[in-house]
């Protein structure tokens, strides 16, 4: 009898273990199915998101309109069902009909609000919040830009005053010396130096006015190779007198839309600066390389002007395009600023790379067709 009880107990224990194992297997199966369902939902959401990102604005607008139309149709079906059921119950039992109409009517009103009113409210609230955020951001950016503009004007005013006051002060001092001794033997030299200083003032003012005025571009189809040839021809005598060798490389003719005269001025200024610095530095075998090419996409034309001169330190490199910053003796410091302005007017860019003792490289990048595309 006791052996039978022991056997029954073992049987019950085994049955309990099997039941526990079965329960664990079912639980793991449910968890696995839940994980698979969640993974499937995530994949569907990603596919919907990727499809929505690749849709055109017209397709997105159509999808949004269709979603609104489907919501209105579902509400219309709900309303028809409500009217039919409540009407039928009203014919049978008015009390029941009133209770059903009240309870179901609350659900119908909530459904109508969520399908017909809520989307418009959500859209208006989102647009209003976006407008507020954009206005705040634009306001902060405007304040920052105005502050930068004020600082730039202050720096420019100080530079203008410095560039004009110094030569005028020098010329005034020389004229005063001439007045103190009208018959002095050095008066001719004083007058010559005073005129040179006044010429410097006139040149600075002329460049400043040119820098300040709006550039009027006369765009037409042109070839950058012709502009390079014209600029080099204008500087041929200076190149020869200083002994600078020029190498021209044309990877592309550079057919584009631009103002050839304005771009010629840019190249003349860049090459002239290189000639002056090579002459002042006394580097052996001075050389200037002018290259013309096109980008891989063929949408942009680039011009590179390189020299093997003294190069620039990092401080000079940062201020190279700042008005009245000059590395040349007697320079106005507006030439490169004007060059950058002319290139910017063509929707292009002017960049410089240089290291001290390793020459300088100016790179002009211009859209082939004035930003219109092919």
Per-residue pLDDT of 285-315, as tens digits, reads 899 999 999 998 889 999 999 999 888 888 8
* Domain annotation covers residue 41: yes
* Domain annotation covers residue 124: yes
End position of a domain, from candidates 167, 189, 212: 212
Do 233 and 344 lie in one domain? The reply is yes
- The total domain count for the chain is 3
Half-sphere exposure of 303 (CA within 13 A, CB side): 31
3-state secondary structure of 61: helix
Do 238 and 363 lie in one domain? The reply is yes
* Domain annotation covers residue 147: no
Kindly state the percentage of the chain with pLDDT values over 70: 81
Among 101-115, 233-247, 336-350, the range scoring the smallest mean pLDDT is: 101-115
Find the domain containing 39 and state its range. Answer: 2-129
Do 207 and 250 lie in one domain? The reply is no
Do 232 and 295 lie in one domain? The reply is yes
Do 165 and 229 lie in one domain? The reply is no
For residue 6, the model assigns a pLDDT of 47
End position of a domain, from candidates 70, 94, 129: 129
pLDDT at 123 over 70: yes
* Domain annotation covers residue 73: yes
3-state secondary structure of 250: strand
Kindly state the percentage of the chain with pLDDT values over 90: 22
Do 225 and 341 lie in one domain? The reply is yes
* Domain annotation covers residue 296: yes
Do 201 and 229 lie in one domain? The reply is no
For residue 14, the model assigns a pLDDT of 47
For residue 370, the model assigns a pLDDT of 65
- Token pair listed for 146: 């105005």
pTM reported for the whole predicted model:
0.52
What is the arithmetic mean of pLDDT over 222-229? 94
Do 66 and 201 lie in one domain? The reply is no
3-state secondary structure of 287: strand
- For residues 300 and 347, what is the distance between their CA atoms, to the nearest angstrom? 11
| H, E, C per residue of 265-308 | HHHHHHHHHHHHHHHHHCCCCCEEEEEEEECCCCCEEEEEEEEC
Angstrom CA distances, 218 to 221, 262, 346, stand at: 10, 9, 10
Do 105 and 165 lie in one domain? The reply is no
* Domain annotation covers residue 292: yes
Do 170 and 208 lie in one domain? The reply is yes
Which domain CATH number covers 193? 1.10.287.130
Do 170 and 116 lie in one domain? The reply is no
Pick from 289, 275, 276, 277: which is nearest to 244 by CA? 275
* Domain annotation covers residue 143: no
Per-residue pLDDT of 134-143, as tens digits, reads 887 877 777 7
Do 88 and 110 lie in one domain? The reply is yes
- Token pair listed for 100: 């059903």
End position of a domain, from candidates 129, 148, 171: 129
* Domain annotation covers residue 142: no
For residue 120, the model assigns a pLDDT of 81
- For residues 339 and 325, what is the distance between their CA atoms, to the nearest angstrom? 13
What is the arithmetic mean of pLDDT over 266-283? 89
């Amino acid at each position: 009898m006791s052996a039978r009880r022991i056997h029954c107990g073992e049987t019950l224990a085994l049955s309990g273990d099997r039941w526990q194992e079965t329960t664990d297997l079912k639980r793991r199966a449910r968890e696995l199915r839940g994980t698979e369902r969640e993974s499937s939902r995530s994949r569907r959401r990603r596919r919907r998101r990727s499809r929505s990102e690749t849709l055109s604005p017209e397709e997105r607008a159509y999808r949004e309109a269709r979603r609104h139309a489907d919501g209105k149709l579902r509400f219309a079906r709900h309303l028809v069902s409500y009217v039919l059921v409540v009407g039928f119950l009203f014919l049978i039992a008015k009390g029941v009909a009133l209770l059903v109409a009240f309870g179901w009517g609350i659900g119908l009103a909530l459904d109508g609000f969520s399908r017909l009113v809520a989307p418009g409210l959500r859209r208006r609230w989102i647009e209003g919040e976006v407008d507020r955020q954009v206005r705040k951001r634009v306001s902060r950016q405007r304040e920052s830009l105005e502050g930068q503009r004020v600082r730039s004007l202050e720096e420019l005013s100080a530079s203008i005053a410095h560039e004009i006051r110094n030569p005028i002060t020098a010329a005034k001092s020389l004229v005063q010396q001439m007045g103190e001794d009208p018959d002095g033997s050095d008066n001719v030299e004083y007058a010559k130096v005073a005129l040179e200083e006044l010429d410097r003032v006139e040149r600075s003012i002329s460049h400043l006015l040119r820098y300040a005025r709006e550039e009027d571009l006369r765009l037409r189809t042109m070839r950058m190779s012709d502009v390079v040839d014209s600029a080099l021809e204008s500087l041929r005598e200076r190149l020869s007198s200083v002994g600078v060798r020029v190498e021209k490389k044309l990877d592309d003719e550079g057919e584009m839309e631009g103002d050839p005269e304005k771009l010629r001025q840019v190249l003349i200024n860049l090459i002239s600066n290189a000639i002056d610095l090579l002459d002042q530095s006394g580097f052996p075998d001075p050389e200037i390389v002018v290259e013309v090419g096109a980008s891989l996409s063929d949408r942009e034309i680039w011009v590179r002007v390189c020299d093997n001169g003294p190069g620039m330190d990092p401080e000079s490199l940062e201020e190279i395009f700042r008005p009245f910053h000059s590395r040349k003796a007697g320079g106005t410091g507006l030439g490169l600023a004007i060059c950058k302005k002319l290139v910017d007017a063509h929707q292009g860019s002017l960049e410089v790379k240089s290291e001290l003792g390793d020459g300088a490289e100016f790179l002009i990048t211009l859209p082939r067709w004035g930003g219109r595309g092919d």
